[in-house]
Amino acid sequence: MKKWLMMITAAATMSLVAACGDDNAEEAQEETAQEGHAGGEAEEMPEPDLEDVPDVVAEVEGEEITKDEFEQVYTQEFQQRVMMQQMTGEEIDEGALKEQVVERLVSNELLLQEAESRDMEASEEEIDEIIDQLIEINGMESEDEYISAVEESGMSEEELRAQIADQVKMQQLISEESGDTEPTEEEMQEVYDEQIAAREDAGEDSEAPEFEEVKPQIEEQLTMEKEAEAAQNLSDELREEADVTIHI
């Protein structure tokens, strides 16, 4: 079940994890600003431009994607781009980023509607399992501590469990669509060889890990790629027939 945490279709729920870590992100930003100040340059962290976001950013088969839903995901995406900008210096194209986020939310809604049309359901046990994973990811000691952090971010436990249930149903749909995603030995070896070649091209001095050491990570990577491709293909098919209106 933990694969859903890294799937493209998990963007909305992943933002819950990030929301609970907002305090850490703010602390990191403050430290960066303080370091800049200590060096004589106080660097102001950019804020996302959300002034032109309408109350309803899109409608998918009559279901609305609201401004709140969009802003939650967009803000986290923007923060990630800011961190990348600090490393690469590349400017953030907010117009393009907004398009990417709304398209992802539309795809998620299409997949969710398809999952529900196939009567896919999330059990309480599955939801509890994922909450346990989120507790571990966020370095918290108990469910009460995690739920308190979620509620402080403005989301109720009921809303959290509902969003997790949606992601479980979409993962079930993707698993059904993608079928057997277990990569072959040849596929994993090819990825390993490419990674070793990239290390050599980059002039890496450290000793490269053996294939067997990194095989589990490569297997997981290839599995996720196949599932992501299946999700994208299904989303594209659904989009062709769906009534979708985007307002941003």
Average pLDDT, the chain: 84
Q: What are the structural domains of the chain? A: 2-246 (1.10.4030.10)
Using the 8-state DSSP alphabet, how is residue 235 labeled?
Answer: H
The H or E element containing residue 196 is helix 185-201
Q: What is the pLDDT of residues 56-110, one digit of tens each?
A: 999 999 999 999 999 989 998 999 999 988 888 888 999 999 999 999 999 999 9
pTM (predicted TM-score): 0.75
Three-class DSSP category at 244:
strand
Residue 34 Cα distances to 8, 80, 88, angstroms: 35, 20, 21
The β-bridge relationship of strands 56-60 and 244-246 is antiparallel
Calculate helix-pair angle for 94-117, 67-88, nearest 10 degrees. 130
Note whether 45 and 33 are within 8 A (CB). yes
Q: Is pLDDT of 1 > 70? A: no
106, 108, 111, 114: CA torsion to nearest 10: -70
What's the average model confidence in pLDDT over 161-177? 92
Residue with the two structure tokens 């100040």: 37
